[in-house]
Each structure stands twice: as C-alpha cells, then as structure tokens.
Amino acid sequence: MHIVTCAAPVNIAIVKYWGKRDETLMLPLNSSLSVTLNPVQLRAKTTVAISREFDKSRMWLNSVEQNIDNPRLQNVFREIKQRAYRCHSEKNNCGNREDMLNWHIHICSENNFPTSAGLASSAAGYSCLVSALAYLFGVDGEISDIARLGSGSACRSMYGGFVEWDMGRCNDGSDSVARPVASNEHWPELRALILVVTDDNKKTKSTEGMQKSVNTSELLKTRVERIVPHRINEIKEAIRDKDFDRFAEITMKESNQLHAVCLDTFPPIEYLTEVSRRIMNLVHRFNKLCGRTKVAYTFDAGPNACLFLLEEDVPRVLSLIRHFFRPVNSCFESFIHGLPIEVPRVTTDDVLTISMGIMPDTIQYVIYTNVGCGPQRLDDCDHSLLDEKGFPK
Ligand code: DP6
C-alpha cells in the first residue's frame, strides 16, 4: 500500500470569482484574487492510499462515506493520472508506477473547522486531495489547474499568502491557473476575523448561483469586462505597498458588487441577511469613527463575514463585535476561537459613537486568524486518517 497525507488551507476571495465560461473545465469569466488563511485555524486534511488489495475505490468525508462517482472527482482522478503517465514516460520511469495508477484508491478527508462555519470547505478539500494525489503518483509541475477541476476556488488554495487565479485564454484551460502574488510573510500585521452568523436557511450553492447570474445578470457582464481587470491590478498594488486603506476599500466594493450581481440575477439571489448588513454597518461606522478605513468586510455565498484588519486594531474591534452580536449564554472565551487574544471591555465612548442597536445571539462565534501557507505534506504516521489496512482510523 502507498499512502500520503496532506493538509491544505481555506482561502477568502477579495476579488471575487462569480461565473464560468466553461462548466466542465471550470473556466472562470474573470480572474480573481484571494488571501490564504492560516491552516492552524482552518484546514482540510486528506489521506490517500492505493493498494492492489483494495476491491473498489472509496471515499470518506468527515467520517461519512461519499459517492465517489461524483463527476468533479472523476475529472480530477482522470487528469492527475494522465499527468502521472506523462511525467513518468518523460522520465522513462513507467513500469511500477504505471501499474499503480490502475489500483483502487481510498480517500479520507476531514476539516478542523465546523461545517457551520459556512466556509468554502470544498476549496480546501480539493486542494488537499490534489496535493496528496500528486505526491502519491509522483506528479510535479503545475497542478493548480487540476484542483480547479474539483472546485474553481480550490486552485487558489494551492498556494499560501496572496494568490491570483488567472482566468486564462486557452479553450483547454491550460493557462487558467493560480499564481502566488505575495508570500504569507509579506504582510505580517494583516489579520482576519471570521464571523460565524447564526443562520438555518438553505442557501443557493455557489455553483448554481453563478450559473443563474451568468444567464440573467447584465451587471455581471459589465463587471467582468470593465471592472474586474482594473481591480485586480489595483489590489495587487495595494498588497505590494501594504496599503491597508486601499486594500480594504477594494475588498468591500468587491463584496458589495458580488451581492449586487446576485440581486441583479433573475429571480434574485440573496445571501446577505439582516445580521450581515448590520456587520457591514458596524464596519462603516467604526471606520468613520477612526477617520480612516481600518476594517474591511467580505461575504461569499452566505451570511458569514470575513473581516480583514491590522493586528493593532483587533482587540477594539472584537470588543465591539462581542458587545453588539454575542450569544447571551456563552462565556467570553468560547466566543472567540483561534489565535490567542485579550479582548478588553468595550468603551462607552465607542458604543455611544457607533450608536447601533444590539443584536444578541446573532453571531455564534468568531475565528481569529492570519495569513497562512499553502498545502503541506504530513509525513508523521500519526497524521494519517487511514489505518495500516487503508480504512478510516
Ligand atoms: C463566492 O469555487 O465554490 O466564494 O467552482 O462551482 O465549485 P465552483 O464554485 P466555488 O465558488 C466560490 C465563489 C465565491 C467567490 C470566490 O471564492 O471567489
């Protein structure tokens, strides 16, 4: 049996991907750009094993067996195997390895964050799977395009730091790949707060939502042709210069435009809730109070917010979030997860100036994190999710 375990991070788009020009190859209508979050707080872990002894291919996700016939998964398998054949024949190294490519595979994957966090866990999941398969089959070179076949945004989780997914021009998708723009060490003061909003509504999945927008939204066309290319260049400059004000403004405008496109979709799609809007309001009031842009929000296909800010502002911002949104019965400690932090009592001055009604019990908890690295191979057997027979531990 050959076995590999990897961990891969979650990414949050600051210039959003919304809409495909090819549904099978998962080619986007526009380039996008994201921040990779620290995998210590948010990561997928995947173990892949192949053996002559396995009688069929199987997959378990968060302890539940999944159907492996899912077309996206099958596309990923097909592509990585083709790439492996190519790599080995170039190196005149077929034989044994080629035989292995026909063996059945067992995959076991889990996330270290609750599904309720509503984060694009498929991005971390596919990035992790593709990284592990690449090690298993000895594939080197560009593989972010293989992760893209699983879920578009997954290609951006193939690198740490700040990552651009270039939409590419080729019809075969060979140039629609992710590229690092700056490393995870580039902007050490940058922090992220994931605000997990209490919400039971069933939402339209991103895949389906973006299809509807492509078919019906006029605004999406303008965005793709006239707005995104310019924003990608601007945000890259803001990242290069560590210009937080500029970074934050583009981030918020991008999030707002994504949700404007959703409203322009017919029938409209609404991902933001009253709580999301209240979070946006708090951010704008706080920035006004500070006389400059100190916090940025961004929302994906759900009501949870991701706030970006600098380390020095985290305690004050958390004190406000806790004041306005915290669950009534939870203790202060269980409200904030992730990096260690002392949160002071909110000041009367801040509360009076922000002047907003409180919405208790509307944010379940907050994950405090920073910018992190890309996928990692975990060599220690203790990390493996499969036992020595290749079944979930
Ligand atoms: C709103 O990558 O989940 O998070 O490619 O269909 O799997 P598929 O969609 P997915 O879409 C992510 C959309 C988004 C914005 C983004 O991450 O860029």
Chain position carrying tokens 């694009």? 120
DSSP of 137-186, one letter per residue? HT--S--HHHHHHH-GGGGGGGSSSEEEE---S-TT-TT--EEEEE-TTS
Residue with CA closest to ligand 1 atom 7: 151
Mean pLDDT of the 245-261 span? 98
Backbone angles phi, psi at 43, to 5 degrees: -155, 160
Pocket probe for ligand 1: among 158, 206, 300, the residue whose CB has the most ligand atoms within 8 Å is 206
Ligand 1 centroid–CA 209 distance in Å is 10
Query: In terms of domains, do 313 and 349 share one?
Result: yes
d(CA 167, CA 384): 35
Query: In terms of domains, do 117 and 149 share one?
Result: yes
The number of the ligand 1 atom at minimal distance from the alpha carbon of 207 is 6
Ligand 1 centroid–CA 122 distance in Å is 9
Structural domain includes residue 300:
yes
d(CA 166, CA 176): 5
**Predicted pLDDT of residue 178:** 98
Structural domain includes residue 392:
no
Structural domains of the chain, count? 2
C-alpha separations of 269 from 12, 253, 278, 304 in Å:
20, 18, 19, 16
Structural domain includes residue 35:
yes
Query: In terms of domains, do 147 and 284 share one?
Result: no
Residue with CA closest to ligand 1 atom 4: 300
Query: In terms of domains, do 218 and 276 share one?
Result: yes
pLDDT band, very low/low/confident/very high, at 95 (cuts 50, 70, 90): low
C-alpha separations of 2 from 53, 60, 65, 101, 141 in Å:
11, 18, 21, 11, 21
Q: Would you call the peptide bond into 71 cis, given omega within 30 degrees of 0 as the criterion?
A: no
Domain holding 43: CATH number? 3.30.230.10
Mean pLDDT of the 237-248 span? 98
Pocket probe for ligand 1: among 153, 235, 270, the residue whose CB has the most ligand atoms within 8 Å is 153
**Predicted pLDDT of residue 90:** 72
Structural domain includes residue 285:
yes
315-342: b (≥16 Cβ within 10 Å) or e: ebbbbbbbbbbbbeeeeeeebbbbbeee
Query: In terms of domains, do 203 and 178 share one?
Result: no
Query: In terms of domains, do 305 and 331 share one?
Result: yes
Question: Does the ipTM surpass 0.95?
Answer: yes
Query: In terms of domains, do 219 and 316 share one?
Result: yes
Query: In terms of domains, do 55 and 123 share one?
Result: yes
Query: In terms of domains, do 217 and 144 share one?
Result: no
Query: In terms of domains, do 261 and 356 share one?
Result: yes
Structural domain for 61, as ranges: 2-183+378-383
Residue-wise pLDDT for 339-390, tens only, equals: 999 999 999 999 999 999 999 999 999 999 999 999 999 999 899 999 999 9
pLDDT over 90 for what percent of the chain? 88
Domain holding 297: CATH number? 3.30.70.890
Ligand 1 centroid–CA 167 distance in Å is 13
pLDDT greater than 70 at residue 200? no
Residue with CA closest to ligand 1 atom 9: 207
pLDDT band, very low/low/confident/very high, at 333 (cuts 50, 70, 90): confident
Structural domain includes residue 143:
yes
Residue with CA closest to ligand 1 atom 11: 206
**377 membership: H or E segment, kind and range:** strand 376-377
Structural domain includes residue 166:
yes
Structural domain includes residue 393:
no
d(CA 93, CA 139): 12
Residues enclosing ligand 1, CB less than 6 A?
A: 13, 16-18, 26, 32, 120, 122-123, 151-153, 206-207, 300-301
Query: In terms of domains, do 6 and 141 share one?
Result: yes
pLDDT greater than 90 at residue 119? no
d(CA 306, CA 150): 24
Structural domain includes residue 389:
no
